[in-house]
A and B are shown apart, each in its own frame.
Chain A
Amino acid sequence: MKIISIIKQVPDAEARIRATASGIDLEGVTFVIDGMDEYGVEQSLRLRETGLDAELISIALGPKRFEEAIRTSLAMGSDRAIHIETDEALDPITQAKVLANIIKEEGAELVFVGGKEADWDSAALGPAVAEALGWPHSDWTTKLVVSGSSLSVTHDSDEGSETLTLPLPAVVTTQQGLNEPRYPTLPNIMKAKRKELKKLALSDVGSPSGKTQLLRQEIQTKSRLNKVLTGDAAEAAKELARLLHEEAKVI
């Protein structure tokens, strides 16, 4: 079975992001593989380690710098990777179409996608890829077992959590709780440098045009009152209650 993990490279969560008139300035920011995507890479490794005969492929759609995140997935243990290189920030629906074509060509049966992207705060890619392929999907997945030609999963729903069974091929969006992703070891980082990384241009996959246009990006830090009380706990608590009631008028 071929298993594909779709990965992104995003700013480190602790990175300081600046805004300029033309949008977000990512100069000098540390980038990492999206933590949500790591759960998928890890899960594919665990499936193989527990006896599933599988080839593990990482796919990424994004600018040249994504290579680093791709190498991280290879160092974790994926076998090979495909990078569709573009500087265009295509919307998730358009991205999903491009990725679905490659997944079809590869003949994969299971696709992992991070549940929510840490740059666009988007949860659309996984379900959109599934729809483009005509496959079922499980979102916000916290547990996964492959049995024959079907998947048994536990995922988070609006009301709590529930178990699902779905036939393969399928798309699974991953999140915290599914597993604890491993750190690449130094020998594996060295090995990853020799693994196949196939490069494609957006023109190789039909030069799709996006469905949305980004107009502006702003950092709106709400100015806060920063009224901090110290001293006797009971007195401070009483004063806080008064401020919330009389000044802020929220309780």
Chain B
Amino acid sequence: MILVIAEHSNGSLKKSALELLSAAKGLSDKLGGDVVAAVLGNDVSAVATELAKYTAKVIAVEDAALADVRAEPYTSVVTTLAKNLDAKAVLVSASKSGLSYSARVAMRLDCPLLEDVTSLDVEGTQVIATRFSYLARVTETIKALALPVVISIKPNIFPVVEASASGTVEDKAAGLAATDERVKVGEKAAAKTGRVALDEADIIVTGGRGVGSSEGFAKLVEPLADVLSAGVGATRAVVDAGWRPYSEQVGQTGKTVAPGVYIALGVSGAVQHLSGMNRSKLIVAINKDADAPIFKVADYGIVGDVNDVVPALKEAVSSL
């Protein structure tokens, strides 16, 4: 069987959960066995019921120690589920937390790890995946030499499944050991902006140094993002300058995104930034420097001052 660990946040399923289910369906068609999706958390009954609309078998694991996504309790629960259900593959979202605990799960199961994958295939009984490397400049194809295999799935790449099932929900105990809880979570600072998360966004509007200031973001970047229902991104220079939070940083040391449309405002296009967005399906650049490297990767561009072009673009988009 194929085990899927469905992510959720504030009582609702994340889009990645539905992407994992479509990836899992593809694997189960070729490897055999059914798909079982698990939700872990403190109070997950509503999310489990929601998940059962998309897949036949759901396991709900509730424990106060799973309220926060901590690597060790998650590793214990996921490893136990994988062993008990004799999973051929364990699918996890390649979110920050998913990347973190999936490596521990692979180590504990002493099995291959396919990390941050963008496509999956099966040859015989071996799972083959593509993923990015060398700061997302290279696409590599790798084969897991044994089963089971732990796979983290890059968000926003696989299609989502549609609601069609009326699945069953089974409760299972977490069965955690005391050492699983040795890492204690203290204060949390949520980067809540009320906007779509960068790794789920279909459109991202990113501001670079050319936007000028944090006020420039409020005046140019956010209004355009509003009319497009887009996520807001920032370059490293902008985050270093303290104009925007780190959670919005796109690039080598921030997030790697691949939305349908990536709109770069006042972004020069340093390699570190390009590595975080060069897989976007369509790239739009607005920059006053016609020689800025960002134009080399752009599908559409305007050479002009963001202060003039962006408000006009917002108007033009609104009146479509």
Contacts and interface: CB of A to CB of B under 8 A. Distances in A.
Q: Which of A91, A162, A222, A237 counts the most B-chain CB atoms under 10 A from its CB?
A: A237
Interface stretch (A42-50, A55-63, A136-144, A185-193): A136-144
A167 B279 CA distance: 40
Interface string A102-121: 00000000000000101111
A17 B112 CA distance: 27
Nearest to B271: A13
Given A93-B103, A241-B313, A241-B320, A212 B188 contact: no
Contacts of B145: 210-213
Interface stretch (A70-78, A79-87, A122-130): A122-130
Interface in B176-193: 182-192
B187 A132 contact: no
Which of under 10, 10 to 19, 20 to 34, or 35 or more describes the interface residues of A? 35 or more
A168 to B, nearest CB: 11
Q: Is the interface of B mostly helix, strand, loop or mixed?
A: mixed
A234 B308 CA distance: 7
Which of under 10, 10 to 19, 20 to 34, or 35 or more describes the interface residues of B? 35 or more
A176 interface: yes
Contacts of A201: none
A93 B128 contact: no
Contacts of B96: 139-140, 156-158
A224 B298 contact: yes
Contacts of B275: 13
Given A215-B143, A217-B139, A236 B300 contact: no
Contact of B188 (A17, A160, A234, A244): A160
A147 interface: no
B104 interface: yes
A103 to B, nearest CB: 14
Contacts of B317: 241, 244, 251
A215 B143 CA distance: 7
Given A211-B146, A217-B138, 18 more contacts: A116-B252, A121-B131, A139-B71, A139-B100, A156-B247, A159-B192, A162-B186, A162-B189, A164-B185, A166-B182, A167-B182, A215-B143, A219-B139, A222-B279, A224-B299, A230-B303, A248-B300, A251-B228
Interface of A: 11, 13-14, 17, 19, 24, 35-36, 91-93, 96-97, 116, 118-128, 130-132, 136-140, 142, 152, 156-167, 175-177, 210-220, 222, 224-230, 233-234, 236-238, 240-245, 248, 250-251
Interface of B: 7, 9, 68-69, 71-72, 75, 95-97, 99-104, 106-108, 111-116, 128, 131-146, 182-192, 203, 228, 236, 245-247, 252-253, 256, 260-261, 271-272, 275, 278-279, 282-284, 290, 295-305, 308-310, 312-313, 315-317, 320
Q: Which 7 A-B pairs have the closest CB atoms?
A: A237-B312, A241-B316, A160-B191, A233-B308, A163-B186, A124-B103, A211-B112
